[in-house]
Amino acid sequence: MKNVFQYTNYREFLRDYYEERKERDGYTYRDFAEDAGMNSSSWLLHLVKGVKNLSDESAKKIASALHLKKRETDYFLLMVSFTQARNSAEKDKYYTLMIALKKKLRLMLIGEAQYEYYTKWYYPVIRSLVSKIDFGDDYPSLAKHLIPAITPQEARKAISLLRRLGLIARNESGRWVQTDEIISTGNEVSSLCVVNYHKQVSRLASEAFDNIPREQRDISSLTLGINEEDFERIRDRIIEFRRELIEIARSSEHPDRVYQLNFQLFPVGRGEDVKW
């Protein structure tokens, strides 16, 4: 049977379980419904397609029908809550619990470890900063280089995480430097990471009005009346502009600071013909 701990979406787990049983011994949707104590033979199909959700009681019945052990059942129930969560805050809550359970069982996957990289706004900043300052193992000094400053304990934990993920390493002289490792996670987890990360850096942008001198920041906004075609053109220009900025950063000689640039383009009003 498929290993439940390899999944983050319970619908995908049930789909793969069914396909494996179907190929092995002719398992049918009706067989699954009977095993789970459900009346409708199309119930699993609707569940896998996302037409229906699982209640807590039904989730426990399925776990029992699949003969999941105690820890596997605990993980499956968390996975149901994660998959059916209504917002990013709920998803983050249940995914954190899923990771905690897998850590306890020593089943952590590299993609899930990389999820931690986006849980704190200062992890990517420190990754960039280590190539610009030689702090040795002076974590109080490193902590003070961030804006706003973090604690030495947070700085130490950041370095430990970045090293564990292979995103920084010591060079021949013993100085911390960036590596060329790429951050990558599954689509669902990646999207959750990005949402949480953007929330954090958006708060930093708001606080910059009070914490950063005017001559060291540039924050402005536009309110635009446009149509869908205009929106696509603007989005394409933003994408192209981001590429230009990356090239400027790559060719920068002796960089001595780290900046955070946020692009935020979102609707604040809609006409009568717009249906979303």
Backbone phi, psi, residue 41, to 5°: -75, -20
Tens-place pLDDT, residues 164-199:
888 899 998 889 988 865 554 455 555 666 777 788
Is position 73 within any domain?
yes
pLDDT tens across 35-65, in order?
888 877 777 888 888 888 999 998 999 999 8
The pLDDT assigned to 272 comes to 65
Report the alpha-carbon distance of residue 42 to residue 76 in Å, rounded.
21
pLDDT, position 271: 67
Q: How far is residue 121's CA from residue 156's CA, in Å, rounded to a whole number?
A: 15
pLDDT of residue 72: 93
Mean pLDDT is lowest, of 68-72, 149-153, 207-211, 266-270, for: 266-270
Q: For the residues of 27-55, what is the DSSP string, one character each? A: --HHHHHHHTT-S-TTHHHHHHTTSS---
Per-residue pLDDT for 110 more than 70? no
pLDDT score, position 157: 94
Q: How many domains does the chain have?
A: 1
State both tokens at 88: 């990013």
pLDDT over 90 for what percent of the chain?
A: 30
Q: Record the tokens describing residue 135, joined without a space.
A: 């702090």
Task: Find the domain containing 79 and state its range.
Answer: 4-84
Rounded Cα gap, residues 117 and 218, in angstroms: 27
Nearest CA among 198, 35, 240, 56 for reference residue 10: 56
Separation of alpha carbons 42 and 33, rounded Å: 8
Run of H or E including 18:
helix 10-25
The Cα 106–Cα 174 span in angstroms is 31
131-162 pLDDT, tens digit each: 888 898 899 999 999 999 999 999 999 999 99
Residue 30 domain-assigned? Answer: yes
Q: Is residue 97 part of a domain?
A: no
Contact 44, 50 (CB under 8 A): no
Bigger pLDDT: 26 vs 181: 26
Residue 45 domain-assigned? yes
Using a 10 angstrom Cβ sphere, with 0-12 exposed, 13-18 middle and 19 or more buried, the burial of residue 61 is: middle
| pLDDT value of position 29 | 82
Q: Are 63 and 73 in contact (CB under 8 A)?
A: yes
CATH number at residue 41: 1.10.260
Q: Across the chain, what does the average pLDDT equal?
A: 85
Query: 190 with 197: CB under 8 angstroms?
Result: no
In-domain check, residue 229: no
| pLDDT at residue 235 tops 70 | yes
With CA atoms as reference, report the closest residue to 131 among 180, 87, 165, 95. Answer: 180
- Domain membership of residue 52 (yes or no) is yes
Residue 126 has pLDDT above 60, yes or no: yes
* In a domain? residue 17: yes
State residue 185's pLDDT score: 47
pLDDT tens digits for range 161-173: 999 888 899 998 8
pLDDT(103) > 80 = no
d(CA 92, CA 192): 7
The answer to the question of residue 41 being in a domain is yes
